[in-house]
Structure 1
């Protein structure tokens, strides 16, 4: 209190002058319509700018929530699409339709990348979904841009994914516009380029052709995007749609028919 009184005593003339200026300014604004309109316009401009910045800040802070809402909506749509496709397959095959799940073959589980390797010869990715979320070994992992890899280990809350950037990774792949199949692998060099092997010599290959999953496995559904043909020299090099160094939100694909398919395949191998 003593310091406040000392401040007022020291600057009393300046404060009195400032008070007179404020009174004069208020009288001008109240008694002159032109000045009043200019003041209101300027004040509106300033407050409008402040409100806009506040709105932009709130929008930025809400991006994560909005993004999570979109992920959940996308997840629901993907699962509804799988049910619808299964229903159509059942109708076309004239089989009895299970009204609970329409004999649904695939289900999508959302998750996020916890740790991502892409610079080693044998790269793995850790995701924040595990057995308690329905995730186990040999499940496809993708995002909206294309394939990422497949799970090979799972704990209660986390799972390890063998990345497509792993020299032990072999994935059935095909040309989108033809029936030619091959095997997708990685030579350990560029993290955005993989190789397509075992394509028949008679296959017509054009730069820019789209490569998708072939569906000849119990892990990846047919038609998941992979990339485009970049070159066809010694190897068929595929430029991935995904930037494997920048992964975040992912989907794990559960195949309800996986065990049945494996049982049939193992029986045929005996």
Structure 2
């Protein structure tokens, strides 16, 4: 598939990316046919014009990052691979837990640089705010790493409006990655704050309404525009706010290309109004 001209957003005003990226979390990393398909999906995404790929240390303890390196290094010009830190695995139990201690963040950033074969992480996101560590210490540590040249821009994930405001009082915030989709708009106030400040908003689980039981109205709109419900859900996000950059995840080449094609899908004002009026769900936490 040839490269697609995706709509562009400049993260922090100086880092242009296509507004429809790839969430790498769902790419299997274990050796075998599934891993080979994962490599193919990552390569096909870039070949098709995707310039934003999201990963994290949490995804396999770095295995997902290593998968992307195998698939994509040396990286194409203009490709942004962004990762996340701030979650650690207990050495005895193997269980994951939040860990925003400065020493942990510094160690994980250095490890990410090594695994991803980068001199600088152009966008590094705090995976979650650790309630046991003052936010100022967590964000302040990332600011120090940025000053040291290890990070280009700093992002946050799963934050409130108040947390975003506090963090912005310490350092410039380039992105926010919260759960958000057509039927899950709990973080609409955070999106509004991002839009007002020109901060990129990277919704995760962006096509959940299509994957967990398509509402009749969504199915009807999809039928009218000759698209899949997932494509309509993505098109709605892209039209909903200019700062939204969805990062749908998939391990399927077919779904990857369907997702990318959603960027060219035009919803009429009537379609958008009908979708806007769907009852959002705030039950999932």
Normalising by the residue count of structure 2, what TM-score does the alignment of the two structures yield?
0.23
Pick the structure with more strand per residue: 1
Say which structure, 1 or 2, has more relative contact order (CA 8 Å, 6+ apart).
2
Normalising by the residue count of structure 1, what TM-score does the alignment of the two structures yield?
0.24
